[in-house]
Amino acid sequence: MATNIVVPEVGESIVDARVAKWLKREGDPVSVGDPLVELETDKIDLEVAAPQGGVLSKIAHGDGADVKVGEVLGVIEEGRGQVGGQRSEVGKAEAESRKPEAVSRQPEADKTRSTPAARNAAQQNAVDLHTVQGTGDAGRVMRRDVESAVKQSGAPAPAPVTARPAPPKPAQEARPGDRTEERVRMSKRRATIAKRLVEAQSTAAMLTTFNEIDMGAVQALRERHKQAFKERHGVGLGLTSFFVKATIGALREFPRINAEIQGDEMVLKHYYDIGIAVGASEGLVVPVLRDADQLSFAEIEARVRAFAKAADEGTLSLADLKGGTFTITNGGVFGSLFSTPILNPPQVGILGLHAIKDRPMAVGGQVVIRPAMYAALTYDHRIVDGAEAVQFLVRVKQLVEDPGALLIE
């Protein structure tokens, strides 16, 4: 009896995916629950497991193919051993390239579990993943494991032997004056990011207002309490929690910035799901702090750090990324001094944070050097007026400059 392997339904907003990598080959025995193939979507990467035991008799879509939800990826035949009958062209080519020794090692190689970020790091550093001890769930190899292996070895390890040949390398290194080019296919996530950013600019009436925030009070408070905070909560006191709290305080006063447009109606949201933009190897992702107004400073810091770790390891779930009523993005961690963030549709507001720099400021009639940050609010002018956008950002500034006021909020 044959069983189809299909592209699973991941979420209502995901209708297609891309085959990133087959973990088994045609003719390989599989057990129920064995990971068979990795898929990448515009939001998350996932593994498709074997629905039954048997032999992978057919691969319908090879690496790099775009597929729809519900489409057949391959076929599993019941029983073990070699499957008779005609194989697909993908299977034939791979079977001809296999040697007895490689075949004997393949089941062991298939047991190696790793995240997409770990595999990218391994490829970049020529590390054999089979030699890396995983520290993730069920011994899964994480990016940090690969980086640790590179540091311990002091030099890149030899490239692993894989079932599929690596992309061909240039015959020689580029020399001064060479005009070389490289063509790289966008990942599913990167292509979707590109599409949505263009859509945001063409559908929303975006406008950005700026202000300057004196970060001295927050820095002093963090310095006074950072040790006790870390000992009590097990997490450092960062800047994110202050801006999340200040943003929620300002959103309460200006509710149209915590809304979206549906047809000719404004949907005002009286809950605060704050998206925190995180840079990942495959592109920007925005995990969401649900009911952020009910979270403590420590809970916000812990969840944001967990999001950053999961993004780096490629383990964010669809639930982490769904929804959001307002977004905060911090280009300052990369050194950005000034920028205009782009809206994250269907949201109508996004707060951009930047690097903190010592600058001369007028304080009490005197010019003093203070740690200052430029903050930017991009908003949809269709439902948010300029006056309320400016006042919103001023309110964020006031709350951050007087962090004690956040306790009242």
Q: Which residues pair with 49 in a beta bridge?
A: 35
Phi/psi of residue 223, nearest 5 degrees: -65, -40
**Nearby residues of 16 by Cβ (< 8 Å), 6 or more positions away:** 41, 66, 67, 68, 69
Phi/psi of residue 257, nearest 5 degrees: -85, -10
Quick count: other Cβ atoms within 10 Å of Cβ 141?
26
| Distances in whole angstroms, Cα of residue 84 to Cα of each of 13, 23, 87, 209 | 40, 22, 8, 68
Distance between CA atoms of residues 268 and 257, nearest Å: 8
The DSSP output letter for 233 is H
Determine the 3-state secondary structure of 107 from DSSP.
helix
Beta strands, E only, 269-365? 274-276, 288-289, 326-330, 349-353, 356-363
Query: Looking up tokens 């062991």, which residue turns up?
Result: 108
Quick count: other Cβ atoms within 10 Å of Cβ 314?
24
Query: Looking up tokens 């520290």, which residue turns up?
Result: 135
In the chain the first and final C-alpha atoms are separated, in Å, by 63
Helix (H) or strand (E) run with residue 2 in it:
strand 2-6
Q: Edge-to-edge strands of the sheet including 16-22?
A: 45-49, 35-40, 16-22, 66-68
Token output for 183: 């063509």
Strands 326-330 and 274-276, how do they pair? Answer: parallel
Residues known to be catalytic: 381, 385
**Nearby residues of 65 by Cβ (< 8 Å), 6 or more positions away:** 18, 19
Q: For residue 374, with 0-12 CB atoms within 10 Å meaning exposed, 13-18 middle and 19 or more buried, which class applies?
A: buried
